[in-house]
Amino acid sequence: MYTLYPIASYDIKLVFPRCVLAGRCSFRQYMPRKPGRYGLKLWVLCDARTSYCWRVKLYMGKPPGEAREVDVAKNVVLELSEGLRGHNITFDNFFTSFSLGQELLQRHLTMVGTVRRNRPELPPALLTTRGRRLHSSEFAFSQNTTLVTYIPKNNKNMLLMSTFHNKPNITQRQDRKLEIIIDYNKTKRGGGVDTMDQLISNYSCKRETARWPLALFSNILDISAHDGYIVWKELNPGWKARLKQRRRLFLQELGEALIGPTVPQQMHLPRGSHAATTVRAIRDAQISQAHPSDVQSTQSQPSAVPPPPEEKSKRKRVQPVPLFY
């Protein structure tokens, strides 16, 4: 089993099947800040260093006939972080709250995250920006929690809450950025769910479909292949280390290994030229392993599988005939 590094990242991921726009999914979600706005909401907990997806949960909405759930974000974080100990979790302002930080401390977990301005635990002195200088910061401390406000631009206030930091450390940079903000950006933006989502979008097996179960299944395959590559790279750090596209080569070998047992059962070759070439290579390799002496005879004889039908050329347009008077 994969063991997470001491820092983890928590965020929301959306899957965008075409059917959610037509109203065929009862638990579709609307998030205006996401690229597709409508989709299936996934709660995702990832490793902030390697972007390994540790746990995923599909949000099915409120069950019919039941009361509305209170503190959904808090309950989901506590559910997905079950089993972790000694880790620091980073998330955005949708999840961050003082009560969640206290619950995580009881489980020997810490947190770092941005805070919404409407949280009741925030003191009014941290919410005002009038009269404050650019790149200035103010701190508020409790027994085990740190609140900080930072002015990155004029009339803009950035609020963060942390149970991981307990000192007002300010860097020597020109913008006097705080250590809490640097750690938040390093774990939230430099890795975690956003990085995993970007890597999955580069090499994906999903296809355009109107069925949300198929779209969700394709997303699960992409996440599983991504996690498999991370585990393989941790176990074999020297595997094709000089090549840049190691992940693409891993996915190619993984796909060939998955379809290898089913290739002899196919009666016809795929229509695509690249897929047909891959199937022929796998069949030849299986024949050479089973009967090495019959490799030359099988290569000289025509294949028993009929070739894919040639596509008919498109009908040409009738050229206009000039008229002479």
> What is the mean predicted confidence (pLDDT) over 40-49?
87
Give the model confidence (pLDDT) of 109-146 as tens digits. Answer: 999 999 998 888 888 888 888 888 898 999 999 889 99
Q: What is the mean pLDDT of residues 190-201?
A: 82
Q: What is the average per-residue pLDDT within 4-22?
A: 63
Q: How confident is the model at residue 314 (pLDDT cuts 50, 70, 90)?
A: low
Residue 138 is assigned to a structural domain of this protein: yes
Domain count for the chain, please give it. 1
Short-list 218, 229, 269, CA closest to 252: 229
Residue 185 lies in a domain: yes
Bridge partner residues of 139 (DSSP): 148
- Residue 274 domain flag: no
Give the domain range for residue 60. Answer: 7-195
* 122 domain residue, yes or no: yes
Q: How far apart are CA 94 and CA 110, in angstroms?
A: 17
- For 54-73, the pLDDT digits (tens) are 888 888 887 777 777 778 88
Average pLDDT for the chain:
81
Residue 257: inside a domain, yes or no? no
Give 253-294 as a DSSP string.
HHHHHHHGGGGGG-SS--SSHHHHHHHHHHHHHHHHHH-GGG
Token representation of residue 226:
């991504």
> Has this prediction a pTM greater than 0.85?
no
Position 247 pLDDT exceeds 80: yes
DSSP code of residue 125: G
User: What is the pLDDT, as a whole number, of residue 130?
Assistant: 85
Contacts of residue 80, defined as CB under 8 A and 6 or more positions apart, other chains included, come to 10, 43, 45, 55, 57
At residue 251, what is the residue type? L
CA distance 312 to 308: 12
Q: What is the pLDDT of residue 68?
A: 77
Q: Around Cβ 3, how many Cβ atoms within 10 Å?
A: 8
Residue 214 lies in a domain: no
Q: Is 285 inside any structural domain?
A: no
User: Does residue 155 lie within any of the structural domains?
Assistant: yes
Phi, psi of 281 (to 5 degrees): -65, -40
